[in-house]
């Protein structure tokens, strides 16, 4: 029973990874690609790690998998935020059919210092 639940969780994680990478390939813009790929791949890797923890139980491998879940929770969000900010400040253009750009408006009106 525990093995079946673990394999199902790992399968759900791989499915999320597939959707994230399809988004990385097919979306038109840096920011769209970053948004789709980071969320999809982060949740997919959570699924794989929690599935491994369910599969092997609470030995050293399972606890290290849970530790990796907590680390990915913090590092992935921070890294994607830094990348989006750096890409916007280095002057990467938005897609030509994008509707609005609030960060650019705020920087023009000097509400944000840097």
Partner 1 sequence: MSVLIIILLGLCFLCLLRVALGPTLADRMVAIDIMGILVVGVCTLLAVKLEREFLIDISLAWVFLSFIGTIALAKYLEGKKFDE
Q: Which residue matches tokens 């921070």?
A: 78
Q: Residue 104 Cβ, how far from partner 1 at the closest point, in Å?
A: 15
Phi-psi region of 9 (alpha: psi -120 to 50; beta: other; left: phi over 0): alpha
**What's the rounded Cα separation, in Å, for the pair 8 and 15?**
11
Q: Which residue matches tokens 């959707």?
A: 19
Of residues 22 through 61, those in contact with partner 1 by CB under 8 A are 24-25, 30, 33-34, 37-38, 41-42, 44-45, 48-49, 52, 55-56, 60-61
Pick 93 or 102: Cβ nearer partner 1: 93
**What's the rounded Cα separation, in Å, for the pair 47 and 76?**
15
Residue 9 near residue 51 (C-beta atoms within 8 A)? yes
Pick 26 or 108: Cβ nearer partner 1: 26
The contact set with partner 1 (CB under 8 A) reads: 7, 10-11, 13-14, 17-18, 20-21, 24-25, 30, 33-34, 37-38, 41-42, 44-45, 48-49, 52, 55-56, 60-61, 64-65, 67-68, 71-72, 75-76, 78-80, 82-83, 85-87, 89-90, 92
């Amino acid at each position: 029973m525990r093995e079946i639940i673990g394999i199902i969780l790992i399968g759900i994680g791989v499915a999320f990874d597939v959707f994230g990478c399809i988004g990385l390939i097919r979306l038109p813009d840096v920011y769209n690609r970053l948004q789709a790929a980071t969320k999809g791949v982060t949740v997919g890797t959570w699924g794989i790690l929690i599935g491994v923890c369910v599969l092997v139980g609470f030995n050293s491998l399972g606890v290290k998998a849970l530790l990796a879940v907590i680390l990915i929770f913090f590092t992935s969000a921070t890294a994607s935020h830094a990348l989006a900010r750096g890409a916007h400040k280095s002057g990467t253009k938005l897609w030509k059919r994008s509707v609005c750009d609030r960060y650019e408006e705020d920087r023009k009106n000097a509400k944000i210092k840097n």
